[in-house]
Each structure stands twice: as structure tokens, then as C-alpha cells.
Amino acid sequence: MAMQHAINKSGPDKGLRTGYTTGACAAAAAKAATRALLYGERLNHIIATIPNGERVEFLLHRCEIEGNIARCSIIKDGGDDPDCTHGAEIIAEVELNQEPGVALQGGIGVAQVTKPGLGLEVGGPAINPVPRQNITAMVQEELEDGPYCGATIKITVPDGEERAKKTINARLGLMGGISILGTTGIVLPYSTAAFIASVVQSIALAASEGEPSVVFTTGGRSEQYAMKLLPSIGESGFIQVGDYIGIGIRNSIRQKRKRIYIVGMMGKLSKMADGRMMTHASASEVNMLMLAELAADIGASQEICDQIRKGNTARHVLEICEASGLIHITQRICEEVIHKCHKFARGLITFDVTMVSFTGEVLARAKQEELDL
């Protein structure tokens, strides 16, 4: 059985520790507080079932009983995942009652939902569906065959509002704190689950606010440039997809978006031009042979193509082409990105691709309507 804070599992990269999500910690803390009330005992640990079915032993940071209310907390250990919630205290305050059912509330540091389109009730706490189910199940497990039929649970994160400043919660309309997340209960080292969830939610929010188009960027800097280039699109339409362009495309199709604008730099766009719909450096390198072939398409000499094949990075290739008067390779790359994304999307959405420099200068732009697809 796994013990939180003493995790021996290794992640995809040898030696890295797995951890537990905010949702799993909240469910375990709620279970502990319920048991503490039922038996009048202060606990130092609790065994809980996380969403993937594993039984996990969590250490309690606090366990307090005040009259008919108990308060237990767990310090979230994200393992070796660099998440802003790592080290946060997740507190569950429980009050038992005779009315059947489990009522879930969000306290200090848990975001409040202020916009529709996120799959959560507007005005309610940003506690996602799977954690809600897990918290409810763990409390009901303790109440089974006991004198109480229900409970009211309040989840708080004392410094959640400050931690949320490192997330995109405010843009999503999740105000005042962090979200309680997790679909399996486990955080893999350098996992992408939370990031992917934010991409999916962002696209859903853009759809709910009536944005017919979305703008995909791979990070904060390219997003800043994109906002200047496309001022007619509302803020909710700008989505940092990071390395997950494929997930962004699929969810845009599900949300029936009409057009995707992609704004990026040479490196990421070169990978997309090669058909890579996941562009993380560790998962896909820039294909220099492909870039050499694109250069040949626009008239590069054999000598230049050989230099490109031996290039170190996409930026290096751009320097080679600029020095040789082949700046049009940027346009060719943008066009190829459209071809690959159009094929990936099965023709169900229209693309517009812009390459920018590291300083925001537009190097090339291609529109699907201008290409022969």
C-alpha cells in the first residue's frame, strides 16, 4: 500500500516520484474528518480509495474536533511534478447530519465558478466531477451503517488564492483560488493531466462565450504576440495549448469551432509541419530532413540542403536560410502546418497559421483558403 510522503513508485523517467492530486487529498481528508467525528478520535493517518481504485494511506497534517465539526488536512505531495499546488494544505471540514446526502462546499482558497461552459455549476466551487464523486464516496463509506445519514463538507486551501496566480484560473472565470482536480488521483512526474484539462476547459469556455474561432499558441510569449495580431478575438478565444496541438484540434471539433488560428515560432511550427501533434522536445525532435526537403521545394541548392540536414535546431535552419536568401521557407512551413492539421482534423475545421520571431515580428502567414488542399 502506498504511503503519501513516502512514495516509492517511479514515473516514466526512472527515479522520479509519483504523487497525489488535490482531489485525492481532499477526499482522504474528508474521510478522516468524518471518522474523527464518528468516533471522537484524533487521527494521524487515513486509508482512502483514490479514483483509480488504489487504496492509499495518507498522513494527516492536522486533525481537530470542535463540537459537531471536525477538520482534517493533508499536505499535497505532487511527487516530482512541478505543479503550483505541490505543498498546499488541503483541508476538509465536516459536519454530520441526519438528512441523507453529502453537500459539498468550497471555502477559502477554492475557486468559485463565475462563467458557464466549464462543466461546473456557476456560483459553485471549482471542484471537478471526479473529485466530487471521490469525496462523496469516501464520506459515505464512513457513514455506512452509522447513526448519521449525511454530511456537509467544506474544502479549503489557506493559500489557494495566492497559488492560483500561477494558473489560468482567472481567465477561465475560476476566481479566488485553485481548482480541486484529478481523474485518477495520481500525479505522474511532469504529468500533463492538469494542463490538458485546462486546454479542454478553455476551448469549452470559448464556445460558451460565442467565440466562433480559437487562437492556439504554445506559450505566454507567443500568446502576447497573437493578441496583438488578432485584436478582434476576445480574450477567452486565446488558448495556450503548449505541446498539445492535437488535443486542441480534437476538442475544437467537438465544440464545433469554425476556425483555428495557430501562432508560433520556428521550432514548434516545424514539428507541426512534420505532422507531430505532440511537440514536446523529449517526444519529438525537429526533422531536419523534412526541412531540407521544404527548402529544396523553394529552390535551395544541394549545398544549402546539406547544411540544413546537419543543422542543430530549427532556429539554426532559419539562420541558414536567411543567410542564403531563402526566407520564404517560413511561408512554406506555415503552409505545411495547414496541410498536416487539415488532414488531422479530417477537413472539419479551417486553419490560419502565423510564424513569429522571438521578438514578435511576423515572419510568414498562411491561410487555408489560399491553398490547394
* Angle subtended at Cα 221 by Cα 162 and Cα 226, rounded to the nearest 5 degrees: 115
Which CATH number applies to 2-187: 3.40.430.10, 3.30.2130.30, 3.30.2110.10, 3.40.50.920?
3.30.2110.10
What's the average pLDDT block by block, 10 residues per block, for the chain (373 residues)?
Answer: 42 60 97 96 96 95 96 92 87 95 96 85 94 97 92 98 91 92 78 77 92 90 92 93 91 95 94 83 72 92 92 84 90 96 96 93 95 84
Q: Indicate the SS3 state at residue 206.
A: helix
What type of residue sits at position 301? Answer: S
pLDDT attached to residue 190? 55
Return the closest-CA partner of residue 22 out of 240, 137, 194, 141.
194
pLDDT attached to residue 31? 98
Please give the Cα distance from 344 to 349 (Å, whole number).
Answer: 10
* pTM of structure: 0.69
Return the closest-CA partner of residue 296 out of 331, 329, 272, 336.
329
Please give the Cα distance from 108 to 85 (Å, whole number).
Answer: 15
Instruction: Enumerate the H helices of 40-158 as residue ranges.
Output: 129-143
pLDDT attached to residue 279? 64
pLDDT attached to residue 7? 37
pLDDT attached to residue 284? 52
pLDDT attached to residue 280? 58
Q: Over the range 133-162, which residues count as b (16 or more CB within 10 Å of their CB) and which as e?
A: ebbbbbbbebbeeeebebbbbbbbbbebbe
pLDDT attached to residue 151? 97
Radius of gyration over alpha carbons of the chain, in Å? 25
Q: Indicate the SS3 state at residue 104.
A: strand
pLDDT attached to residue 269? 94
Report CA 20 to chain centroid distance, whole Å. 16
DSSP letter, residue 164? G
Q: Over the range 10-47, which residues count as b (16 or more CB within 10 Å of their CB) and which as e?
A: ebeeeebbbbbbbbbbbbbbbbbbbbbbbeeeeeeebe
pLDDT attached to residue 282? 44
Instruction: Enumerate the H helices of the chain as residue ranges.
Output: 22-39, 129-143, 160-163, 169-172, 193-208, 220-229, 245-254, 266-273, 288-297, 302-309, 314-323, 329-344
Pair 137, 190: CB distance under 8 Å: no
CATH 3.30.2110.10 segments of the chain: 2-187
